[in-house]
Amino acid sequence: MINSKEVKRTFNELANLNEENVKVKIVVELFKGLGYNFSSFNFEHPVYHKDKRIDFVIDISPNRVLYVETKRGDRDLTGKDIVQLASYLYIRSIEWGVLCNGRRLILLNNRIQPISNDEESLEDQIVFNLDLFSSRDFEYLRFVNKNSLFDTSVTNYFRDVSQYRAYKFPLGRGSWSIYRSTLLNFFSFYAEKEKKYRPLEQIRTDDFEEFLKLDQKQKEKQKKSVNSEETFNNKYSHLRSMFIELKKNKKITSHHFEEDRSKLIKNLETAQISKSADGFNVERIQAIVNFLKDSENKIRDTTILFLCLFLGLERSNIKSLQWNMFNKQRTILDIYSRKIHLPERLTYYLKMLEEENMKKGIRGAHLFYTKYRKKFNAFNDNTINEIFDKLKRIDENDPHWGHYSPQFIRTNLYKALFYSGYSIEEISFLTGADLLSLSKIFTNEDIITKVKDIKQNQIEKHPFRFILS
């Protein structure tokens, strides 16, 4: 893969900056470096009439292509160039197109809907506008490569960001520059984490919390100032605004960012990122259980604790739990196609919660409700955070109690299960964590510490023991 310095050197060495030189010596080589097969490049491809031709088309599959239009290197790309490429995409119903003059690359998406019908508004179809001489901009070229654009489709996250910009900040006006950094950084993180495009409805506050923690760690390594709580709140507001706007315009049906200035941010410490697992043990959990006995909603709160403790549930899971996900005896939970047998004490609390809900007149399908203005409403992030926030009162001089949250329990539960003899597969099934996430938690040292050596009974389970013995 070439870098920004090589592109700049090649550009500066061109004796003639005409379209053909730019196309052959820079743009074609660039896209070959981005993983596109040169044999799939079709040059001077007709759009619809003989006098309308795209410089070259990259065929991905019968119904998916990438249009690439090149321009002279001695002039900047203009609004007229963008309108021309946008019209080509529209005529053939092609989703993605690229405009490049050897030093600047613009990625367009035909599915982005501008709020206006005038030609200028077509600039809102821009997903990336990159300076190829800038190493910082050049990093985003990884989302123009074949894998990101067509195989995993993670570039669709940035298409969604651009659609939000088109609705809220047409042509990048207003406060867009403030929002841009947060959204690009978050979706770069999320694309790398998920490795493929998922519907925006599946993104959870837990993902955002993980992003903030990683951002903190990176700033510490770079010896930059650690973000303040106010900065975290602003970043949350930026992301939440995008989801609200896309839902309002019916681009998504729902989202997990209902709460304004979510209290989850309070649990992100500015001085300490890795919350110690020293505070996660049987003695402390028992202390929490005893503390919750005096809670105003002791049955509800204890049930939530037990669900987090047994299954490592996240906030989004807690909010979405419904009674029809359990069998009638409340001994089995069917969650995301995983049927899980529950421990007796958890079943006992589930039955008590069900009885309590009936006595309170709660007839909803969900397990957990909170009362507000004499009305019972389904749980939100704030209510869950309040339950864990009050654990600080167990001992206000001990900072460990401030660490507790569904995410803290989930993260530490993985290793607690592992060292208790659970296999990686069993941990994945119980908690719903994918193997990629678990691979980032368990080190070779963890495995060596647990296994230590291959014993006789393990040899007897080996599939080729009859040949080897």
DSSP string, 270-304: SS--S--GGG-SHHHHHHHHHHHTTSTTHHHHHHH
- pLDDT higher than 80, residue 95: yes
Contact 219, 225 (CB under 8 A): yes
> What six digits make up the tokens of 42?
């079709």
**What are φ and ψ of residue 133, in 5° steps?**
-85, -10
More confident residue, 468 or 67: 67
| Range with lowest mean pLDDT among 52-61, 225-234, 258-267 | 258-267
CB atoms within 10 A of CB 401: 21
In this predicted structure, what is the pLDDT of residue 333? 94
Collapsing DSSP to helix, strand or coil, 158 comes out as helix
Mean pLDDT of 307-325: 91
Cβ-proximal residues to 58 (8 Å cutoff; 6+ apart), any chain: 31, 36, 40, 41, 42, 65, 66, 68
Mean pLDDT of 96-107: 96
Dist CA 188 CA 404 (whole Å): 28
What's the topology of domain 1-151?
A: tt1808, chain A (3.90.1570)
Q: Each residue of 48-57: b (16+ CB within 10 Å) or e?
A: eeeeebbbbb
**Average confidence score pLDDT of the chain:** 85
Mean pLDDT of 150-163: 97
In this predicted structure, what is the pLDDT of residue 384? 87
Dist CA 322 CA 366 (whole Å): 4
Task: Work out the pLDDT band at 271, boundaries 50, 70, 90.
Answer: very low
Contact 141, 105 (CB under 8 A): yes
Dist CA 227 CA 379 (whole Å): 29
In this predicted structure, what is the pLDDT of residue 443? 75
In this predicted structure, what is the pLDDT of residue 206? 83
Dist CA 292 CA 356 (whole Å): 16
Dist CA 319 CA 377 (whole Å): 11
- pLDDT higher than 70, residue 394: yes
In this predicted structure, what is the pLDDT of residue 442? 78
Q: Where are the alpha helices (DSSP H) in 337-455?
A: 344-359, 381-389, 406-419, 424-431, 435-439, 444-451
What's the topology of domain 277-451?
A: hpI Integrase; Chain A (1.10.443)
Percent above pLDDT 70 for the chain: 87
- pLDDT higher than 70, residue 440: yes
Contact 314, 407 (CB under 8 A): yes
Which residues make up the CATH 1.10.443.10 domain(s) of the chain? 277-451
Dist CA 108 CA 258 (whole Å): 31
Percent above pLDDT 90 for the chain: 50
Q: Which residue has the tokens 């760690």?
A: 217
More confident residue, 166 or 440: 166
Which residues make up the CATH 3.90.1570.30 domain(s) of the chain? 1-151
Q: Read off the pTM.
A: 0.60
More confident residue, 192 or 226: 192
Dist CA 381 CA 389 (whole Å): 12
Strand order in the sheet with 64-70: 41-46, 53-61, 64-70, 96-100, 104-109, 126-131
In this predicted structure, what is the pLDDT of residue 275? 45
- pLDDT higher than 50, residue 269: no
Pairing of strands 64-70, 96-100: parallel
Mean pLDDT of 99-125: 93
In this predicted structure, what is the pLDDT of residue 241? 93
Pairing of strands 126-131, 332-335: unpaired
In this predicted structure, what is the pLDDT of residue 423? 87
Task: Work out the pLDDT band at 25, boundaries 50, 70, 90.
Answer: very high
